[in-house]
Structure 1
Amino acid sequence: MTITTLSSRTFNQDTSGAKKAANNGPVFITDRGRPAHVLLTIEDYERLAGKTMSLAEALAQTDGGDFDFNPQPIGKGLFRPADLD
């Protein structure tokens, strides 16, 4: 992973280059020499945010690609004995 740092001015002049750099890692954008923003690919953002694809989203895909589906465990308490009293 490569971290790139760009000034706001450079970012404004070469947005395309910043987007290409984001494919290799985060791009820090500075204002007056201090980090102010971070540019990430959507895949990196979703990984950081913990967003996972639901089964419905996976089935709705039209590109036909493979995907990983790791459902969360339901946990205890799903089935309980009936209380007939």
Structure 2
Amino acid sequence: MTTISAREFNRDVSAAKREANHGPVVITDRGEPAYVLLSIDEYRRLGAGGASLVDRLSMDDHDIDIDFEPVGIELRDPEL
């Protein structure tokens, strides 16, 4: 996945579009990921299968079922 700054994106949009043909391009703002540029084919592929992209990316509490095992921790005083 390619990452470019917003400044680089503004300077050379064509280069970002070319990179998006090979995979998602993350555009950062002040060093933090802010946007993702996708080709239309990749966008459509993500939306295929009936559910909307928003539905695919959102998650309810009941979507994941996890059982945690109790952990036994033995604490020792380093002074003893």
Normalising TM by the smaller chain, what interval?
0.5 to 0.7
Residue 37 (structure 1) aligned to one of 24, 35, 41: 35
Instruction: Give the unaligned 5+ runs of structure 2.
Output: 51-80
TM-score, normalization: structure 1?
0.56
Q: What letter matches 1:25 in structure 2?
A: G
Instruction: Give the unaligned 5+ runs of structure 1.
Output: 53-85
- Any idea what the Cα deviations from partners look like across 1:3-47, whole Å, max 9, x if unmatched? 100000000000000000001100000001010000000000001
| Identical-pair percentage | 58
Q: What letter matches 1:34 in structure 2?
A: E
Distance 2:21 2:27 in 1: 15
Do structure 1's residue 4 and structure 2's residue 2 form an aligned pair? yes
> How many equivalent residue pairs?
50
Superposition RMSD on alpha carbons, in Å? Answer: 1.4
Distance 2:35 2:12 in 1: 16
The DSSP-based 3-state class of the residue aligned with 2:27 is strand
TM-score, normalization: structure 2?
0.59
